[in-house]
Amino acid sequence: MGQNVLLIQPMHEKKEHKKERTSINFPWGLAYVADALQRAGHRVQILDGQALQLEKQELAPLIERYDADIIGITAFSTQFNAVRFLSEKIKAARNVPIIIGGPMATYQAQFTLEKTLADVCVIGDGEITAVDLLAHWNDKSRVEGIVYKENGAIHHTPKRMVLPVMDDLPMPDFSLFDMDRYLRQTNTYSGRKSQEIRAMAVPTSRGCPYSCHFCSLSSKSYRRMSPPKVRDLLAELKNNFGVQEIIFQDELFLTSKKSFKMLAPVLKDSGISWGAQGRVNTIDEEFLAMIRDAGCQGIGYGVESGSQKILTNMNKKITVEQIERTLRITQTSGVPMKIQLMFAYPGEDEQTVAETIDLMRRVDLPGRRMTVTIPIPGAPLYDDCLAQGLIPDEAEFLVGLEKSFGMGKVHINFTQWPDDEIYPRKAAAEEAMRMNYVNNNWRRKVKYFFTRRL
């Protein structure tokens, strides 16, 4: 007999977050798990606090309205405080079992079960594990890929083999979701506003073939959809929801020219514009021509730094020479690009910052806003911080991340500069890159003089 399952996504809270965000990503992981549970005979409902823009205090009372035998919560580690709060409220109200999935469960299962009232953490891919777990709830030791509480102890079962082929995932049941909430993206590569275009963020792979030390991968194993599967997914989104642009959420979408040759006709024939993440060591002129012809509106490059020392520290597996070459040929190709830069990574100093500024000057680009380094659970950098005692209290650290992630707080200082110098130095570097770009062309000087914008 099937169970009544409520699947929840908490809101990503910040101290000064804006209500009614226009850019809300569809919870694909939650959707695939919901579909798998439905196919196994369970009744599933969705409560997406992120889409509804409900803080945990607003979300908790709504949970009581659902007739749920089991509650599942998907969460990132930066949502630890929300999971702790919601699990306490759920247990106080009805004491139903709580299952945690997503990166928080995958990378911090023991910690999550110790610090919250959750009962089970699902590690990695959840589609098969969730069904197996509900089928063997009274003997969880038979279920691979979970960590669970029982009789006051925490137990780890053997790892589950990852879902080897993403094509095995059926199309999600979109009727469970208010789809209009996910089609108002403001972070489109084309630059068109949410009022002008129906755009959606879509992943077609899990994991990444690279292992940068600051990155918390969605999966340790890299897998991607086949071109026919991507074709069917794009057709579904276009025909049923009027999607006009796709922001591919893949950690690395443009992996190689060889694999893209098979996918390019699918993208071109879809009539949907798109943007995605690339890598400077895989791009050449022929690849860029294929990308442009397939409807690409922009490529994101994780440049991170213009210093080879920092790139090596990050395990980026790229060189400054590769960065410079790829940025130049991308400019020539006419494909717009977004450059991602980091600041204050371990080893950062005046010299490495100057090298980044000089790289942007050489390629005649204004750079962009730099991201101050923050260690995230699942990343080797985070493990290093734990090993070195830089995070003495994980719960306190994660609560701090939830409230001020990316909002001007130095969570861990990896440099020799005082904390209060990090953001001013970052701003100075950004301004130096911008003014180098302005001063290199008289038309830019005139425009900047009158508008103060590039």
Q: What is the pLDDT of residue 424?
A: 96
pLDDT digits (tens, 9 = 90+) for 175-231: 999 999 999 887 777 777 666 789 999 999 999 999 999 999 877 789 999 999 999
| Average pLDDT of span 62-72 | 95
User: Per-residue pLDDT for 379 more than 80?
Assistant: yes
The 10 Å CB-count burial string (b at 16+, else e) for 308-345 is bbbbebbebebebebbbbbbebbeebebebebebbbbb
CA 388 to chain centre: 26
Q: Tell me, what DSSP letter sits at residue 140? A: G
| Average pLDDT of span 402-419 | 83
Q: Which of the four pLDDT bands, split at 50, 70 and 90, describes residue 95?
A: confident
Q: What is the pLDDT of residue 122?
A: 98
Q: What is the pLDDT of residue 19?
A: 52
Q: What is the pLDDT of residue 195?
A: 66
User: Per-residue pLDDT for 408 more than 80?
Assistant: no
Where is pLDDT greater, at 210 or 18? 210
| Average pLDDT of span 412-440 | 95
Q: Enter the tokens of residue 426.
A: 């970052």
Helices (H), 195-284: 227-241, 257-270
Q: What is the pLDDT of residue 402?
A: 76
Identify residue 343 by its one-letter amino acid code. F
For the chain, give the percent of residues with pLDDT over 90.
82
Q: Enter the tokens of residue 385.
A: 């911080």
User: Per-residue pLDDT for 261 more than 70?
Assistant: yes
Describe the strand order of the beta sheet including 153-156 as a list of residue ranges.
Answer: 43-48, 4-9, 70-74, 98-101, 120-122, 146-150, 153-156
User: Per-residue pLDDT for 20 more than 90?
Assistant: no
Q: Enter the tokens of residue 407.
A: 């909002």
pLDDT digits (tens, 9 = 90+) for 277-318: 999 999 999 999 999 999 999 999 999 999 999 999 999 999
pLDDT digits (tens, 9 = 90+) for 40-55: 999 999 999 999 999 9
Measure the N-to-C terminal CA separation of the chain; round to a whole number of Å.
62
CA distances from residue 134 to 6, 43, 99, 138 in whole angstroms, order as listed: 13, 12, 10, 9
Q: What residues have CB less than 8 Å from 240, skipping those under 6 apart?
A: 174
The 10 Å CB-count burial string (b at 16+, else e) for 234-245 is beebbeeeebbb
